[in-house]
């Protein structure tokens, strides 16, 4: 797990593919994270490993785990209260890791993001923030949603 995440991080930083939302699905880090029931735990473990690596390498990047939620024809908001409950509203894509240059995270400039507090945070030694984004997608004609843990 450590080598896979470190290789991805190094590639993203060298190529600056963070600007293109270059992500790493947790099931590509470890196939045991493939089943939906493993997504919250896998996202938490991968995020923590990425944060450790980021700190060890002194990279000026925020690390985030992004989770794509099911869309709906009307706004659904945060219809979950815990990280475990998010599994029930996730779409079919496993969570992914992302790197964002510190100070240039998407929630700083995109008004569709809002910070959320609650029982979303996994047990960790890192200070994490939670973000929810809901927006209308003209192509899909639906409201799309995502949840982010960032540190």
How high is the pLDDT of residue 119?
79
- Is 56:76 a contact under the CB 8 Å cutoff? no
Long-range contacts from 110-114, C-beta under 8 angstroms, 24+ separation: 113/148
Q: What is the pTM of this model?
A: 0.93
Q: What gap in Å lies between CA 3 and CA 7, rounded to an integer?
A: 6
Write out pLDDT tens, residues 23-65. 999 999 999 999 999 998 999 999 999 999 999 999 999 999 9
Residue 76 CA, chain-centre distance (Å), reads 19
């Amino acid at each position: 797990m450590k080598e896979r995440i470190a290789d991805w991080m190094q590639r993203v930083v060298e190529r600056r593919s963070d600007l293109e939302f270059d992500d790493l699905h947790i099931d590509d880090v470890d196939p045991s994270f493939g089943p939906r029931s493993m997504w919250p735990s896998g996202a938490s473990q991968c995020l923590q490993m990425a944060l450790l690596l980021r700190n060890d390498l002194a990279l000026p990047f925020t690390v985030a785990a992004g989770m794509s939620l099911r869309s709906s024809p009307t706004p659904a908001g945060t219809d979950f209260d815990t990280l475990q409950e998010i599994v029930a509203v996730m779409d079919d894509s496993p969570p992914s890791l992302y790197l964002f240059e510190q100070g240039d995270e998407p929630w700083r400039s995109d008004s569709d993001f809002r910070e959320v507090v609650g029982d979303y945070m996994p047990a960790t030694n890192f200070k994490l923030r939670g973000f929810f984004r809901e927006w209308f997608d003209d192509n899909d004609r639906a409201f799309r949603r995502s949840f982010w843990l960032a540190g």
